[in-house]
């Protein structure tokens, strides 16, 4: 499971996911990429599930790049706990994803296999996505 090795602060505020991603919004490394068309949080377990799905499809032929990292701690209070008594402990790590962010990239495999692998990974994610080829306009 992905999580940062060292962090400055244990707990963070929730924040907002408005706007469009200004960085990491092109296919920079591979031939095909999975682009977020919606904003949301993607947990470390969902990222790992997507990675496993892609690797099973492309096997040893191609290369995979993961363009997101879960660096935001989300805290939860225990069940059946009364209000107050401070903020809960960090439970899950999430990556904050804005609309237009590149999530995964695949290279070195046939086009049909790359598209199929990225669509498998898209089924594991809680946001809507689309597959983009290198050189295509994301809009």
pLDDT tens, residue by residue, 100-127: 999 999 999 999 999 999 999 999 999 9
pLDDT at 139: 58
Residue 75 CB coordination number (10 Å) = 15
**Under 8 Å between Cβ of 109 and 117:** yes
pLDDT surpasses 70 at 138: no
> 32-75+89-133: which CATH architecture?
Alpha-Beta Complex (3.90)
Mean pLDDT of the chain: 93
Residue 15 CB coordination number (10 Å) = 9
pLDDT surpasses 70 at 31: yes
pLDDT surpasses 80 at 130: yes
List Cα–Cα distances, 2 to 53, 73, 111, 131, in angstroms: 16, 12, 29, 24
- Average pLDDT (14-25) is 92
pLDDT at 135: 83
**Under 8 Å between Cβ of 103 and 68:** yes
């Amino acid at each position: 499971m992905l999580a940062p090795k060292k962090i400055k602060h244990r707990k963070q505020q929730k924040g907002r996911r408005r706007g469009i991603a200004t960085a990491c919004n092109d296919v920079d490394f591979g031939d095909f990429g999975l682009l977020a068309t919606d904003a949301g949080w993607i947990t470390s377990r969902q990222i790992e599930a997507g990675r496993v799905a892609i690797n099973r499809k492309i096997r040893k032929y191609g290369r995979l790049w993961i363009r997101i990292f879960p660096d935001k701690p989300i805290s939860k209070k225990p069940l059946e706990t009364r209000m107050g008594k401070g903020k809960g402990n960090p439970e899950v790590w999430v990556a904050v994803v804005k609309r237009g962010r590149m999530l995964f990239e695949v290279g070195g495999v046939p086009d049909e296999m790359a598209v199929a692998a990225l669509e498998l990974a898209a089924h594991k994610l809680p946001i809507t996505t689309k597959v983009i080829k290198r050189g295509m306009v994301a809009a």
